[in-house]
Structure 1
Amino acid sequence: MKIIKNSLARKIYLHFILIGSVVFTGIGVILHLFSMNYANLALEVSMKGMIEDVGDALHFEQQQLVYTPDNVIEKWGYDALYNNFAFRVLRAEDGQVLLQSVNSEQGSEALAALTDTIALGYSHLDGVDRFRTELTLDGQALLLDMARNDLITELANEAVIPALNRVTAITIFAAFGVFMVVGYLSVRSVVRPVKTVAGQLKQIKPEQLSFRLSNEGLPYEIQPIVDSLNQAMERVEGGFDEQKRFVANAAHELKTPLAVLNTRVQLADIAPQIREEIVNDVAYMSRVVQQLLDLSRAQNFVVYNKVPVSLSALAQEVCMMLAPLAVQFDKELSLDTEPGTAQILADKAAVHIMIKNLVENALKHSQDNAKIQVRVSATELEVSDNGPGIQSQFYDRLFERFWRQEQSTLSGSGLGLSIVKEVVDFHDAKLTVTCKNEQGGASFKVVFGEREAQPERL
């Protein structure tokens, strides 16, 4: 999945990273605090157990407080073995020390931390754990204090805790890495329906205005977009169909009156010069009407019927049909074909109209005594001439409807190349326009079996 700067996938993934960073940082902090609290709680419970054992081993003998421990090492382990703790017993009413235990230097240091102001319960001061509790022996109220040097904690701080911190950090970073990978795959899965819709849109061809996007299996949030696109395509299809019907109906309605008008002019008793001018005007209007019909048919992809077609045969038919026009314009029309019976899959009538418009365009817009050459191979058709070519500033307007290079002097309708473009688009062919060929004129080359979004300019 390619993630670009201004993409939905990038934004979602960044949110994943941000959320993951916050969550895993929070987990690390919580684990640290929990570990510290748990360690303190464990110390407190341990101290409470030890002081209860000491209290159980205290009793009075002849008014003297005596301490008789039982299996101290087994109960208190490391602290008893290394004399790491000390305790004392005070009379509650006056604070007099009745009994204290000092067995080592460590114990003396621990005992020094037992001040008179110790609060009941567990406390920690200067690396010494302290615990005070109240008890009653033979009716006397006593205070039992215990202190323990925190050697184990110091050892843990120096060796164990750093190792645990490293393990915790590695675990969190590894989990965060897994989270990022899972997040990436999740984002990819989330945006996949968008790519599916985009893929469907790219596959729509000009002749597929009736195509509708499928919203099956799409997320709820994307379905309104797909529905809106389908509705927009439906409106475009309706407007396009209405336009085609209008053009076709108007052309059909004009065709018969123009034929009648031409006949009446031929029979009318008017001056020959005026008759010729009127006949030329009527012929021009008839040509425009015919090209409107051709354009309407070229745009009506539903009626297209693709069958095996020989480009050479169609080009020969067109050249024979337009040979009188070449003679009328005093121009030379030639046809070069390759031997063979190769065919393309195309609509015969549409390709015939395309070739006819290309040749007519060359005949009408080339110079006097020009040479128009039609070259045909199995899948390629090229129409070229030797005069004046196409000015570069006019290239972008070649395929506009009703556009002519010189509106006042040319007799063309400006529809021929528009019709050519419609036929080329339907057949997924490639149209190449050479504004200045080797002879100085223009060339139009159509290659079937190749497709580009726009005509290529050379």
Structure 2
Amino acid sequence: MLNRWLRSLSVRVWVTSVAALAVSLAVLSAVVAYAFNHFPEQMLGRHEQIENAVKIADGLKFDASGRPVSIRLPDKTAWLFEVVPAELKYRVLDAQGNVLLSSNSAERDAPWSVADLETIAGGVQRVHIDGKPYDIMTLRVPHGNAVFYVQTAMSRRLLNAIISQKITPIQIIVPVTILVAMVTFGLTLTLTVYCVLRPLREASKAAASITPRNLKTRLSLTGIPGEITPLIHAFNDALGRLENGFAVQQQFLASAAHELQTPLTLIRGQIELQPDIEDKDLLLREIDMMARQVRQLLHLAEVSESQNFTFGNVNSLDVAQDVVAYLSRKADARQIKLELHSAGNGPSIWADRSALFILIKNILENAINVTPANSTVSVLVDDVSVQIRDEGPGIKDEHLPFLFKRFWRAPDSRHDGAGLGLAICKEIALAHDWRLTVSSLRLGTCFVVRFC
């Protein structure tokens, strides 16, 4: 069961896809973790500074002469500059570096940077203000023909606090997000693989239903992926060749058997009319055996083709009675008693009456052949089966696997035959979906035909 599960295409696709996702997420997580651990300021702190500078630039209000006179900030941003004025500051400068607007206490600071404003615009500088380390963000703001500059200063202490506050939840969110993504992807992929591989399962199911009796079936190409279509075409072509070869074989078998039947009858008649032929009885016996083999070949050809059956409601007890009556003379000649027992009136089954007759006849005839004189062969018919028991020497265990093979005869067999009788029985049972079993008894053998 485990090997079958491991060889499953669905499982392989699922495992491969989930493994690929897991590796991709692991690599992405490693890259993100490396970036946060080695460049936390660039990943988190810079974003805060840039965002503050942009908000200040967007909130600038100018007078009629184009000079900035006030700043309108969002409540949250304004609150931050008011709450921690020593850690977070801003200034609005003109092109000469004169302070035009500033946050609380920032106007008293000395110039934050001695570098040219145009040169440092768009970047971040690390400076000291009143002996404390700060990061300065400078943003160029053109307005009309004039150019102004917005600078924000964030202390290293506040920057580290912001980074620490943001990294802590990220360390929890990332693993949880990966786990949820893996579970969701695994469940979704299961349904996806099931839907994608449905045409292959249906094709496999159709292929499993193809038997020597059902060679006309072809696998459908509906919904089959393009990569599998050539395989389905090749399989259907192979079925066509197999069907043709099987039909030719059956036609040859039937034709040969039919053509041999008439010459054998004529030969037997000629021998019977010649009184001076030596060993006439031996010749007649050989001809009868050949005729019997020919009849069995005809039966085998017939039961190997499902279209040769005519199904209808059949009473198995009536058929068994007909067989017993048909073989009663042979049983009497061998001093064997035939007994027919029934549990009720016998079931009505859906079958070909002639085929059921041949099946019971072949088994019962074999039972008569192997049973010694002054013994009994019994036939039991109940609602679900027909059982035939003899009192012969039984069947060796090593012979059981070959019992229903065509032309096989036991090495110690003492009666004439071609080894086709039980093969015919097996073909009939397969055509009707019956179970044909054999078991050795303390004395003799029991054959059972189960109808369900």
Q: Would the TM-score normalized by the shorter structure come out above 0.5?
A: yes
Task: Specify the SS of the correspondent of 2:392.
Answer: coil
In the TM superposition, residue 396 of structure 1 has moved relative to its aligned partner by: 0.6
In the TM superposition, residue 12 of structure 1 has moved relative to its aligned partner by: 1.5
- Is 2:281 the counterpart of 1:276? yes
In the TM superposition, residue 204 of structure 1 has moved relative to its aligned partner by: 3.7
2:120 is aligned with what amino acid?
L
1:24, 1:176 within 8 Å by CA — same for their partners in 2?
A: no
Task: Specify the SS of the correspondent of 1:4.
Answer: helix
Q: C-alpha distance in 1, partners of 2:186/2:313?
A: 56
Of residues 350, 363, 366 in structure 1, which corresponds to 2:368? 363
1:331, 1:363 within 8 Å by CA — same for their partners in 2?
A: yes
- Is 2:342 the counterpart of 1:337? yes
Superposed CA deviations along residues 197-247 of structure 1, whole A, max 9, x for unmatched, are 122233345532222222223333333333322222222221111111111
Q: Structure 1 pair 259/128, CA: closer, same or farther in 2 (3 Å)?
A: same
Gaps of 5+ in 1: 57-68, 89-100, 135-142, 451-458
Of residues 129, 139, 148 in structure 1, which corresponds to 2:135? 129
Q: C-alpha distance in 1, partners of 2:58/2:315?
A: 109
1:51, 1:146 within 8 Å by CA — same for their partners in 2?
A: no
Task: Specify the SS of the correspondent of 1:444.
Answer: strand
In the TM superposition, residue 303 of structure 1 has moved relative to its aligned partner by: 1.7
Q: Structure 1 pair 362/167, CA: closer, same or farther in 2 (3 Å)?
A: same
Superposed CA deviations along residues 116-156 of structure 1, whole A, max 9, x for unmatched, are 8998343354962035799xxxxxxxx99985413432232
Q: C-alpha distance in 2, partners of 1:51/1:264?
A: 126
Q: C-alpha distance in 1, partners of 2:180/2:199?
A: 30
Match of 2:120 in 1: 120
Match of 1:197 in 2: 203
Q: Structure 1 pair 112/199, CA: closer, same or farther in 2 (3 Å)?
A: same
Q: Which moved more, 1:225-234 or 1:423-432?
A: 225-234
Alignment of 1:32-431 (within 5 A): 36-37=42-43, 39-44=45-50, 46=52, 78-79=80-81, 82-84=84-86, 120-121=120-121, 122-125=123-126, 128-130=134-136, 147-271=153-277, 274-340=279-345, 342-406=347-411, 409-431=414-436
Q: C-alpha distance in 2, partners of 1:234/1:299?
A: 18
2:359, 2:425 within 8 Å by CA — same for their partners in 1?
A: yes
Q: Structure 1 pair 247/86, CA: closer, same or farther in 2 (3 Å)?
A: closer
Q: Which moved more, 1:366-375 or 1:253-262?
A: 366-375
Q: Structure 1 pair 197/320, CA: closer, same or farther in 2 (3 Å)?
A: same
1:50, 1:76 within 8 Å by CA — same for their partners in 2?
A: no
Match of 1:443 in 2: 446
In the TM superposition, residue 371 of structure 1 has moved relative to its aligned partner by: 2.0
Gaps of 5+ in 2: 63-68, 92-101, 128-132, 141-148
Match of 1:63 in 2: none
Q: Which moved more, 1:113-122 or 1:204-213?
A: 113-122
In the TM superposition, residue 7 of structure 1 has moved relative to its aligned partner by: 1.9
Q: C-alpha distance in 2, partners of 1:226/1:70?
A: 78
Q: C-alpha distance in 1, partners of 2:48/2:301?
A: 91
Q: C-alpha distance in 2, partners of 1:251/1:86?
A: 110
Q: C-alpha distance in 2, partners of 1:242/1:145?
A: 96
Superposed CA deviations along residues 83-102 of structure 1, whole A, max 9, x for unmatched, are 426899xxxxxxxxxxxx9x
TM-score under structure 2 normalisation? Answer: 0.78
Q: C-alpha distance in 2, partners of 1:124/1:327?
A: 121
Identical positions, percent: 26
2:375, 2:391 within 8 Å by CA — same for their partners in 1?
A: yes
Q: C-alpha distance in 2, partners of 1:40/1:277?
A: 113
